[in-house]
Structure formats: structure tokens, C-alpha cells
Structure 1
Amino acid sequence: MITTHQGCFLKLEELQLTGDYGESVFPPNILWRFPNLEKLEFTHASYEEIFSLEEVEKHAERPAQIKCLKLLENEKLKRIWKQHSKLDLIIQKLEVLLVWNCGLTDLLPPSAFFRNLKILHVEDCHKLTSILTSSTAESLVQLTEMRIISCDILTEVVARDEGDITKYNIIFHKLKHLTLRSLSSIKNFCVENYTFEFPALEDLRMFCCTEMEIFCPGVLSTPKLNENADSSQEDGSSPSTRPLE
């Protein structure tokens, strides 16, 4: 069990938790006991869930300050947060989410708004079939870098919200770097007939995605990738990026 004393470590900005604390749910009240906590890391933890709805609701008067969340080798972890929990209290300031070798079955829940998320890295998560839903994707207005690596059963990055028949036009306004690597089951970035716009995308890296024939079946816009490819062809150099087709 994790215990803290009120008033201790009030200036603490970074917390790393390693090992088994004998609990299935992390007590999120710690986020508010350390009012300056900005970086939170879990490694080899026994938690099945990080943030519970009941504990978060107790602190509804003010959001947490977490800007960076790292989840490393948490094989028992099934989810970070419940779909209908008051996520805004936790993720309002989240800028970096790094997940490696975790047992998650879902990552970013539907209708969650990650307005400040800038960096998303997911690697070796072999129970994920997708990374986020279409409604969540619309909220990623600050995202600049996305890396998805070695997730064996992942079939798409953006999935349709269950029961939602909306035909989305999703714009990743600031995404500059996108890496999809060693995704042996991925069919498309999104299998739905959505429109995707990547106005800032400069660097696309796709390796060992053998099942992917097209990036997405809908309309796709990547103006900077196409510009870079054209410039490279004109001056005879090798392009550092490849245009999407």
C-alpha cells in the first residue's frame, strides 16, 4: 500500500513507482497530495487500472498537474482509466504519453479530450487492436509526434466509435512525425471511409507493415510530404519522407 503524509514532498515534481504494491488500482489521490507533480511513471507495477472513477470524483474541484505519464512493462495493466470516468481532471495538462510492454486492451477511451497531448509513443502492447477512436482523434490538436511500434494484433490506429455512423473529417493539425513499425496485422491507419488531413506532416516512417495495402480508404491530404518528395526529385537527393498514396 502506498501511503503519504499530508504536507510532505509538496514540491515533488516527478514520481516513479516500481514493483508490486499489492493493489489492483492505483490510488489517484496521490496526484492531489503532490500538487506540483508533473511526471508520473509506473514500471513493473501490479495495477490492473491506474485511475479509478471514485477517487477522481473526490477531487473534482481542481485538475491534476500531470504533464508526462510513462507506463513501462506493466503486463497486468488492462486499462489506464475507465471509459466514463472524469478524465478531464487527470489529462487536462497531459503532454506526453509513453506506453511500453503493457497488457492494455484499450488506450485512449472514446470521447476523451487530449487537447494538450503532444507526444504519443506506444510499443510492444500486444493486446491493442487500435490506439484511439475517431472522436478522441479530433481532440489531438497539439499532437506533434506519434510512434506506434510492435503491437502484434493492432489492425488500425484510429477506430470508429461504437455505434457512431458519423463520417468524420479528422485533422491532425500539428502532427509532424508519424512512425508505424513492425505492425504485422495493421490493415489501414483507419479502415473507415473518413477524410484525414495532415497539414504539418513532414516525416512518415512505415516499416514491416506487411498487411497494409493503402493508408486509408477515404480522402487523404499530406501537402508537406508531397512537397518534400517533389523537391527531392528535382535536386536529385533522396527524400527523407515518403508521400502517402
Structure 2
Amino acid sequence: MEEIVMKQDGEDDEDEEIIFSKLKLLELRSLARLKRFNGHRAIHAPQLQSIRVDSYDHHKHIWMTDLNNTIQHQFMTQEVTSTTQLMVLNAENITRIGDVFPKVRSLSVEIFQDEGVLFPYRSLERFPQLDGLNVEQSSFEEIFPSQDQVIDFMEKIPPFKGLYISNLDKLKSIWKDDSQLPPIHQNLASLEVKNCCNLVKLTPSSASFEKLRSLSVSGCHQLIHLVTSSIAKSLVRLKWLKIKDCKKMEEIVKNETNGDVEGGITFNQLHGIRLIDMLSLKMFSSQSCTFEFPKLEDIEVTGCPQMKKLGRGVLKTPKLSKVKIEGCDMEWENEGDLNKTIEMLSLAKV
């Protein structure tokens, strides 16, 4: 939340005042991104004497006679000097950061909107205990530098485990297309990417995500496939896979070679698959190799009108118990043929 009282469409800026005639104490808690009370109207609170701000470590009382001035002073300062577990880094406060923040576990990098702006990768050195990184509402064309450049940051940038990317309209790639994922990024356990309409590649062509447990991608309309077969083989700990509203995606796993994948592909820990509103999706994979899902318990395929089967090769799903295809729920029997079921239910919807 950035603003408590927001202007509605069609309202004039100076039509009305907001008066809190009896307000004496205002308490603001866990609002790390708050920037103002209201940006369009005069705010009056004649009896207000104190604003209590919860900064995790203590409660601080502050009052500067004006609600907007008080909030802007307190929260813009808190963004830079906070030693709490959550922090916001933006184009306004980055130039004022000169300290190390040993307690910050979650960092949001947002509102870097200048043309050609580069992701402030070096700034991550200041968060040695960083566990989760959010990148939102910015003009970055890529986030992480090449493998050779990352070497310069070894043992300086923390190996964070969660990466959330959202609303980066100009983003084309998350990582440069190097042969391997930099070691400091190989601890990723969760990756979520939303509304990056120009993203053409999710991962480097050849990489390893052996610790990834959750993968979610939505609103990325330039992706033709999700991952290559070599990357899919590295997803040995992946538990949850959700892909939604990627208009051009034709398959989830693409074979980067002309031949079959030797030994097939096994998703050892995958429990659930969600494929939702994928207008161009034809198959999970067009390869004719064997796909094994030894722990897959449920699968949902909804809003995928072109998908007639999961794959061309052999599918092994010994633990599958719940299937939802185009709104039809069913209890699953181990001896059932998932490809035939998808084809039957998809044809029934035509």
C-alpha cells in the first residue's frame, strides 16, 4: 500500500477536504511501502497529537502537524535506515543508502522507470542475510548480469532462495544466456514471474535448478516454451508447477536437440501441475520420450482449447489421484491413460 486515501476517477483535485475531527492517535503497522496519506486533498485532523509507527523493533511516536509530511518523513527515512526484515529499494532512496543491513531478509526493488535503467545488482551486497528478492514495476530489460560479471560478486551477494518478478514491461531476459547459472543463484527454491509481456526466455539455455521447489509463471505472452529438456531434467526437487495466461506458449518442455532425451525426464518430487488459460498450448511436451511423475497427485488443465494430450511419449503417474480437465473433476485410477482422458474431455467440450 502506497496511499491510504486514493482519488477516484472523475473526482476534482480540490473539490473537498477530508476532516478527522476527533482523531487523536493514528497507528500504522507493517506498511513498508506507504508514501503518503493522500495526494490530492487537504487532510485535517485538528486533535491529532501523535502517529505511532511500528518499526518491528519498537513503536515510535511522531507528529509534524501535517499527515502527509509526517508519513513521508517517517517512511522515506525508514526505507533507508530500517534494520527490519523487509525493505524497499527504489530510484529515489538508492542514492542515500550507504550502510549494510544485516537483518533484512526480504528486499523489494521497484519503481526504476528511466529509459535504459540497469538493475542495481551491486546494491545487493548491502543485504548479507537476504532470503527473498522482489523486482517490480521497473524498466529493466534484464536483471542479472553475465556469468563472468557475477564472478566479481562471489561471496558478496547472498544466495537468496526466493525470486518474485512482476510488472516489468520491458524485461526480455532474467539471466543473460550463459551456459550455466551462476553459483550464487543456484539456491533458488521459489521462482514466480508475473506480467512480463516482453519476456522471451525464462532461463539460460543450459542451467541447473536442482533446489527449485515452486515455479509459477503468468501473463508472459512472448514465451513459446517454459524450459528446455536439459533444464527440466535438473528440476529434481520441484513440487509445484503453475503456468497461467501465457498466450503464445505452445509447450512446457521443449527438446533443444533433434533426437529423443536419453533416459527420459523424471520429475521426482512434483506433486501438482496447473495449466490455466493457455490458448496456444498443445502439449506438456511434444517429445516422444518417457515422462515420469512418481509423486504427482493432482493435475488441472483449464482453458487450454488446443491441448489434446499431455505428450507423445509414455507417461508414468503412479500416485495420480485427482484430475481436473476443462472443469470436469474426477477421481483417478492408477491404470487410467492420462493422454486418452485429456483427449476425451477436450473433445467433449467442442
Counterpart contact for 2:274–2:299, Cα < 8 Å: yes
Counterpart contact for 1:46–1:76, Cα < 8 Å: yes
**Alignment CA distance shift 1:41-1:85 (3 Å):** farther
* Alpha-carbon separation, structure 2, partners of 1:84 and 1:19: 28
Counterpart contact for 2:150–2:182, Cα < 8 Å: no
Alignment-mate amino acid for residue 150 of structure 1: D
Residue in structure 1 matching 2:122, options 22, 26, 29: 29
Correspondence for 2:236:
141
Residue in structure 1 matching 2:227, options 110, 132, 136: 132
Where does 1:1-245 land on structure 2 (aligned, <5 Å)? 2-3=94-95, 5=97, 7-22=99-114, 23-53=116-146, 55-61=149-155, 64-84=158-178, 87-102=181-196, 103-161=198-256, 163=257, 165-168=259-262, 169-225=264-320, 228=321, 238-239=330-331, 244-245=338-339
- Residue deviations 1:108-137 (CA, integer Å, cap 9, x gap): 222210111000000111010011000001
Secondary structure of 1:214's counterpart equals coil
**Alignment CA distance shift 1:193-1:240 (3 Å):** closer
Q: Percent identity?
A: 37
How far did residue 20 of structure 1 move?
2.1
Which has the larger Rg? Answer: 2
Counterpart contact for 1:185–1:211, Cα < 8 Å: yes
* Alpha-carbon separation, structure 1, partners of 2:104 and 2:300: 37
Q: CA RMSD of the aligned region, Å? A: 2.3
* Alpha-carbon separation, structure 2, partners of 1:15 and 1:76: 21
Secondary structure of 2:124's counterpart equals helix
- Residue deviations 1:77-98 (CA, integer Å, cap 9, x gap): 1100011165233322111101
Counterpart contact for 2:233–2:265, Cα < 8 Å: yes
Counterpart contact for 1:63–1:88, Cα < 8 Å: no
Counterpart contact for 1:146–1:178, Cα < 8 Å: yes
How far did residue 142 of structure 1 move?
0.8
Correspondence for 2:81:
none
How far did residue 29 of structure 1 move?
2.1
Counterpart contact for 1:178–1:204, Cα < 8 Å: yes
- Residue deviations 1:189-245 (CA, integer Å, cap 9, x gap): 1112121100000010000111011110011111111xx36xxxxxxx952899622
User: Could you list the runs of 4 or more consecutive aligned residues of structure 1 that deviate by over 4 angstroms after TM superposition?
Assistant: 3-7, 240-243
Scaled by the length of structure 1, what TM-score is found? 0.87
Alignment-mate amino acid for residue 102 of structure 2: L
Secondary structure of 2:230's counterpart equals helix
Alignment-mate amino acid for residue 27 of structure 1: P
Structure 1 unaligned residues grouped into runs of 5+: 230-236
Scaled by the length of structure 2, what TM-score is found? 0.62
How far did residue 7 of structure 1 move?
4.2
